[in-house]
Each structure stands twice: as structure tokens, then as C-alpha cells.
Amino acid sequence: MILIFRSTYEILLLMNKSTYNLSTVLDELTQAARLRGLNDSEWAARASLPKETLSRLRRRDSCDFRTLLALANAVDVRLATVDETLPALTHDGNFPAEMDREYEEMLLKLCASRSLAPQRWAAAGPRFFMAGMAVMLAGMASFDRRGLLSLAEHLCPGAGEPEVFARWLKRSPLRPARFLPMLDMSVKHAA
């Protein structure tokens, strides 16, 4: 399954590892190239590839990831694979579509760890959703407010703005009134 997430900051092409389809990925990348006014020759040149490579790829079922990455970078698209253990996303790609207990437990462990590593947080869910979680935690007295707000800004610029966080609260499947007491208990038991 291929999802496209578009924001003012990036275009992200998410690929489910088990259903990766080169033809669909190339179609999406071609569309991005056309939106930038590039024909195949110009696109291949920007990717430092011979035009013939692009033509051959359209007839194949697989390709070297470096080639695909070069084509994506040439049209300002970021490629990423989706962790199949994470829940499905909302249509806009900003939130998990649902919050099951297993995912909630994983998020509790991440938050209780007090990690501020952007790569860990980005791997745990959609960047906008995870940035909102960091902003939520920044309001807790026992957490590193400055570090969490910096993390939120790194994950999704502007996430710490009051109106953006209000939008997060309205749409998030995670309910702070349930999650924060559970987190507090997790932190106390870990101590």
C-alpha cells in the first residue's frame, strides 16, 4: 500500500515493506517530476542517471534502493518504509487511525524512557502526531520542557504553537486524560 503525505514542509512517500510495488512508486515519483516541469530526460539527469535506466525501471518489478532514492531526491520526495507493527494512518497521514492497547503501551514506554532522540520518536508514528505528544509531555512538571519543545519543533515545525496544539488535541486518538495518568504510574513504577 502506498500513501502520499503532503505538507508545507515535505512530500513523504511511505512504502509498506510487504506490499512494495515499484510500478506504483515510479508513478508517484513521475507525477512529482511532472509537477516540477521535468520530462524523463531532465529528471534522470538531475538524479545523475542515464535516461535508459528510468525507461528500464518502468518494465521491472524491483530496483536498487539507491537508484530509487536518487530519483526521489531529484524531485524533492523523501522515501520511507512503514513499520508494519504501527497502526494504520488517517487519510492525511498525520495521526494513527486508531489507538489500540499495544500501540498505547509502546508510546508509554517511549515517553517513560524520557528519550529526546528524534529518530526514535519519528519511528514511533506520524511526525505531526509525535510532535503533539512531545508538546503534551512538555506540560508535565517532571519532564524536560525545553528538550521536549525542541523535539516537537524538530519533528514538525510549528507544533508548539497554541493553535496547532489545539488542533492536535481535537483530532488525536490519544486522550491525554487517560494517557497522562498511565504515564505517571509507569514513571513511578520505574523509579
Is 40 found in the same domain as 11?
yes
Shared domain check, 185 and 134: yes
Where b means 16+ CB within 10 Å and e means fewer, 37-52 reads ebeeeebbebbebeee
Q: Which of 21, 52, 82 is the last residue before a domain boundary?
A: 82
Which is more confidently placed, 7 or 171?
A: 171
Q: How far apart are CA 74 and CA 58, in angstroms?
A: 17
Report the alpha-carbon distance of residue 37 to residue 54 in Å, rounded. 17
Q: Three cell numbers at 72?
A: 526521489
Tell me: do 36 and 112 sit in the same domain.
no
- Which stretches within 58-100 are classed as H helix? 65-74
Unique residue bearing C-alpha cell 524523463: 40
Q: Does 96 map to a domain?
A: no
Cα–Cα dist 73/160, whole Å: 29
96 exposure class (CB count in 10 Å sphere: 0-12, 13-18, 19+): buried
Q: Which of 34, 50, 82 is where one domain is finished?
A: 82
Q: pTM score > 0.75 for this model? A: no
- Whether residues 57 and 120 fall in one domain: no
| pLDDT tens per residue across span 111-157 | 999 999 998 998 899 999 999 999 999 999 889 999 999 999 999 99
* Close Cβ partners of 22 (under 8 Å, ≥ 6 residues apart): 57, 60, 61, 62, 63, 68
| Domain with 35 in it | 2-82
Sheet holding 2-6, edge to edge: 2-6, 11-16, 78-82
Q: Are residues 76 and 113 in the same domain?
A: no
β-pairing verdict for 11-16 and 2-6: antiparallel
Do 74 and 25 fall within a single domain?
yes
| Same domain as 63, residue 28 | yes
Report pLDDT for 80: 62
From 82, 113, 130, the end of a domain falls on: 82
The answer to whether residue 167 is domain-embedded is yes
- Residue 78's φ and ψ, nearest 5 degrees, are -100, 130
Residue 183 is assigned to a structural domain of this protein: yes
pLDDT higher at 78 or 71: 71
Q: Are residues 21 and 75 in the same domain?
A: yes
| In-domain check, residue 88 | no
The C-alpha cell 510487504 sits at 18
Q: How many distinct structural domains can be found in the chain?
A: 2
pLDDT band of 162, cuts 50, 70, 90: very high
Residues 53 and 123 in one domain: no
127 within some domain: yes
